[in-house]
A = this chain, B = another copy of it.
Amino acid sequence: MKAILLVAHGSRRTQSNDEVFSLADKLRSNSAQQFDIVNAAFLELAEVLIPDGIKQCVNDGATSIIVLPYFSNSGRHVVEDIPNIVSNTADQHPDIVIKIAPHLGASDLMMDLLIASADTAESKVA
């Protein structure tokens, strides 16, 4: 069983964290042909944290997990913190194949997304 663990930073703003869970729900519907399990986790400031998110995927029956960083840039969180946490947690699940996807900005689709997003700008200022 293949799983995605969508990993966001985590915010003190509940609405922002709820967005991540909503996004994971939407991703579950949209990727059902390729992935059996989609869960969400956070680097900090919000539950579920990454180790528990991985455990949740394993409990749901995952044999492989793709950790999908919901981060725009390859900052320290993406290049150090997430790989370190995932690596430490992976030691407890030696039979599970765990991979980490690139940050969002690495995607070829980011250009299309940015241009489409610019076209929807509405909130006039001043």
Contacts and interface: CB of A to CB of B under 8 A. Distances in A.
Interface of A: 4, 6, 8-9, 11-13, 15-16, 19-20, 23, 26-27, 30-31, 34-35, 66-68, 70-76, 79, 83, 86-87, 90-91, 93-94, 97-102, 104-126
B68 A117 contact: yes
Given A12-B76, A16-B73, A102-B121, 20 more contacts: A8-B72, A9-B72, A9-B75, A16-B74, A31-B114, A66-B121, A67-B125, A68-B117, A91-B126, A93-B126, A98-B125, A98-B126, A101-B117, A101-B120, A101-B121, A106-B120, A107-B113, A107-B120, A109-B109, A109-B116
Nearest to A71: B72
Given A30-B111, A71-B72, A104-B72, A99 B124 contact: yes
